[in-house]
C-alpha cells in the first residue's frame, strides 16, 4: 500500500524541491522565479508530499468571475502516485467556485494530455497553438466547464 498523499499550502520553496518531468523543465524554471512567490502565496495552490518528499504542486489562479487557470508541476517520482494525485485534484476542482477551468499542455507531452482527459478536461485546440509560450513551444488549451 502506498503512503498517503499529504497536501500542504504551496510555497515557492516547495517547487524548488521538485525534480520536474522532462516535459515540464521549462515550466519549473518559470515557476521557481522569485517574482512568482507573491502570486503563488495569494492563490489557491497546494504541494503534494509522499513520505516527506514533495512530488508535485498544483494551483488555481482566477482569471475573471467564473473562469480560472489551472497549473500543475509534477516530479519524476510522481507516476506511482497518480491515482492519489488525480483524486486530490478532482476534489479541489469540484469544490472551487469557477465554472470554467483552463489549462495548457505542451503539445507533444502525451502523458499531460492523457491526464487532462482523466480529469475531465476537453482539448479545445487539437492542432495546438503555435509559439504559445515564452519558449516558443506549441501548446494545447484544455478546458473543463461545469453547467
Q: What is the pLDDT along the chain (147 residues), one digit of tens a residue?
A: 678 999 999 998 998 899 999 888 888 767 766 777 788 877 899 999 999 999 999 999 999 999 999 999 999 999 999 999 999 999 999 999 999 999 999 999 999 999 999 999 999 999 999 999 888 999 999 999 998
Residues 78 and 81: their CA atoms lie apart, in Å, by: 5
CATH number for 62: 3.40.630.30
Question: 12 lies in a domain?
Answer: yes
Q: Whose CA is closest to 96, among 141, 142, 63?
A: 63
pTM for the model stands at 0.90
Q: Is residue 60 part of a domain?
A: yes
First-last CA distance in the chain: 37
Answer yes or no: is 21 within a domain.
yes
Structural domain containing residue 45:
6-145
Q: How distant, in Å, are the alpha carbons of 71, 78, 82, 118, 137 from that of 2?
A: 25, 12, 11, 21, 35
- Could you tell me the sign of the dihedral formed by the alpha carbons of 28, 56, 120, 36, in that order? negative
Number of domains in the chain: 1
Amino acid at each position: 500500500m502506498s503512503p498517503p498523499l499529504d497536501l500542504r499550502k504551496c510555497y515557492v520553496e516547495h517547487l524548488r524541491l521538485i525534480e520536474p518531468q522532462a516535459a515540464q523543465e521549462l515550466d519549473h524554471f518559470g515557476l521557481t522565479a522569485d517574482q512568482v512567490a507573491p502570486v503563488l502565496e495569494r492563490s489557491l495552490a497546494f504541494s503534494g508530499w509522499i513520505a516527506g518528499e514533495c512530488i508535485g504542486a498544483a494551483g488555481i489562479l482566477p482569471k475573471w468571475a467564473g473562469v480560472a487557470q489551472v497549473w500543475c508541476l509534477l516530479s519524476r517520482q510522481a507516476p506511482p502516485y497518480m491515482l492519489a494525485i488525480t483524486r486530490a485534484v478532482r476534489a479541489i476542482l469540484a469544490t472551487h467556485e469557477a465554472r470554467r477551468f483552463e489549462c495548457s499542455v505542451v503539445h507533444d507531452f502525451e502523458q499531460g494530455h492523457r491526464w487532462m482527459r482523466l480529469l475531465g478536461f476537453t482539448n479545445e485546440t487539437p492542432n495546438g497553438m503555435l509559439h504559445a509560450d515564452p519558449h516558443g513551444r506549441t501548446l494545447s488549451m484544455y478546458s473543463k466547464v461545469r453547467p
